[in-house]
Amino acid sequence: MIHYDQIVVGGGFGGMTTLHKLREKGYNVHGFERGSDFGGVWHHNRYPGARVDSETPVYQLWLKEVLSDFIFTQRFPDWKELQRYFKYAGQKLKLYDYFTMNTEVTSSHWNDEENLWYVSTQSNLTGDEQQFTCNHLVLCIGFAAKKTYPDLKGRDSFKGTSFHTADWPWEGIDVKGKKVAVIGTGASGVQVIQSISKEVGELVVFQRTPNLVLPMQSQEANISKQKERKEAYHQIFNDSIPSSFSGFEFEPDTRWGKDCTPEEIKEKFDECWNNGGFRFWLGNFSDIMVDKSTNRAAWDYWKEKSSVRVKDPRKRKILVPDEPPHYIFTKRPCLETTYFESYNRDNVDIVDININSITEVTENGLVTKDGSSYEFDIIIYATGFDAITGGFYQMDLKGKNGITISEAWENGTYTYLGMGISQFPNLYFLYGPQGPTAFCNGPTCALIQGVWISELIDFTTKHGFKYNTPSLEAQNTWKKYIQDNANLTLLPYTRSWYMGANREGNKPRECLLYVRGVGNYYKDINKESDSGYPNFIFVK
């Protein structure tokens, strides 16, 4: 059986960063990726219009080796440009030699006698199974590793073509002139809808919750800024991350909206809106997700800007309702260019499935509660993921004394620093539960957590410890800290994947994210490492 010092699962930003950092330290590390190439979510997100909502230049690996020669041509790169980038980065960092692609990790069991992880894999190409051992296991599986479909009667009976947005066929799908259904209006649904609406014969969108989308505005990449940033890499990292809220190159306004005059509020809102991207959310007043009156002002502004774009009053009421469906930004917004205009086309309609739910999938299409039946050639499930924790449950993870992750998290999610779990020795994860994750630019999180984890592994190894594990007390304290801080915001009011509450099932409703911002998170984790890991148990 082949043994590695560490195994890294996942070849997106997190896996690439962590594996690279461990190699730099001289370890015999290996990675497994279920896709056929690097990219993580960007390997699987290849539906029409798939494009990242984080802008260049911050949306790239912040590793000096790959900062010199790749220039993005789009401000918000599309999936094709991102796949080109990942290929480039994999080659430049020489990571292809250390990753096995097309390989799913099917189980990971900690062996208490040998103090090793036993990791089983299966090839997606041949079905061949293999087993490996390693001292340390790093899960870089992202927060969207487990797709979800609606639990609909007859879902398999549909005779046309149907698939999830994360499984868009590599060869593409000809939607020209076809009758198409899109179920779900998260980031994936919005992007698909605005992209295919001109091509399809008919499009019916089945919406559960309106997406409070934000304008992307200019798509022009700032080439000179990218070049400048490349030269100033170390300064940017050292200066900006410790004080950053979300890892972007803009910060929330330090003022609270509730203390500002209507004129000041309008000025700020206009500035954020017109500059586009996530500024209206993450570059807005500091109390936007805390204070109900500031949040309401943002909703009123959003509604005024959005409602004028939808001509048909019936469609408008579904897309831009009179009253907010939830506090704005307590569900993740996404960026759009022509989303609302898509509904001004005669071939595009929308059904509010909150009122008129889908009751059945038939051979030919969908039936709704009011008895209407719709015929389709293609049904697209843009229904998202068992987000943040879902991926942990699909790899048969067992820690000390064979404890499963379902047992460990039976009463809610418990981690320490959003990077480890107390009964799972030498196990680490990044971009997951109780870290900044969905509130952080992905590559920024990958860097700060990847570096921190590689340092802890190095500390454990160099001191001759067989394993480390965070203490149970530290884990309980971290959970309370996460929840107490989330309870200061408006997040808990909303049924969202931030709260583990976007799907049927018995996942406890609790905030799964660190809400105090990247800078505070960076300070919190470095306090632990700088003081010699006082909240970890190390075993010789």
Q: Are 288 and 333 in contact (CB under 8 A)?
A: no
Q: Which stretch binds ligand NAP (CB under 6 A): 281-289, 303-311, 381-389, 445-453?
A: 381-389
Q: Which stretch binds ligand NAP (CB under 6 A): 133-141, 168-176, 179-187, 235-243?
A: 179-187
Tokens at 280, concatenated: 């209206």
In terms of DSSP bridges, do strands 348-352 and 202-207 run parallel, antiparallel, or are they unpaired? parallel
Nearest residue to ligand NAP by CB is 186
Determine the Cα–Cα distance for residues 146 and 426; give it in Å rounded to an integer. 24
Query: Does 184 help bind ligand NAP (rule: CB under 6 A)?
Result: yes
Closest to ligand NAP by CB, 76 or 414? 76
Determine the Cα–Cα distance for residues 110 and 133; give it in Å rounded to an integer. 9
Q: Minimum Å distance from CB 206 to ligand NAP?
A: 6
Select from 195, 449, 502, 535 the one that contacts ligand NAP (CB under 6 A). Answer: 502
Closest to ligand NAP by CB, 93 or 438? 438
Name the β-bridge partners of 107.
Answer: 120
Closest to ligand NAP by CB, 38 or 497? 497
The DSSP call for residue 55 is P
**Helix/strand/coil (H/E/C) assignment for every residue in 133-167:** EEEEEEECCCCCCCECCCCCCCHHHCCCEEEEHHH
Query: Does 150 help bind ligand NAP (rule: CB under 6 A)?
Result: yes
Closest to ligand NAP by CB, 293 or 354? 354
Q: Which stretch binds ligand NAP (CB under 6 A): 27-35, 50-58, 87-95, 218-226?
A: 50-58
Determine the Cα–Cα distance for residues 31 and 105; give it in Å rounded to an integer. 10
CA 212 to chain centre: 18
Query: Does 144 help bind ligand NAP (rule: CB under 6 A)?
Result: yes
Query: Does 60 help bind ligand NAP (rule: CB under 6 A)?
Result: no
**Helix/strand/coil (H/E/C) assignment for every residue in 309-356:** CCCCHHHHHHHCCCCCCCCCCCCCCCEECCHHHHCCCCCEEEEECCCC
Question: Is the bond leading into 57 cis (omega within 30 degrees of zero)?
Answer: yes
Q: Minimum Å distance from CB 357 to ligand NAP?
A: 8
Select from 29, 200, 282, 334 the one that contacts ligand NAP (CB under 6 A). Answer: 334
Determine the Cα–Cα distance for residues 453 and 430; give it in Å rounded to an integer. 9
Select from 318, 382, 486, 518 the one that contacts ligand NAP (CB under 6 A). Answer: 382
Closest to ligand NAP by CB, 260 or 438? 438
Closest to ligand NAP by CB, 160 or 325? 325
Site residues for ligand NAP per CB under 6 A? 45, 51-53, 144, 150, 165, 183-189, 208-209, 332, 334, 353, 382-385, 438, 497, 502-503
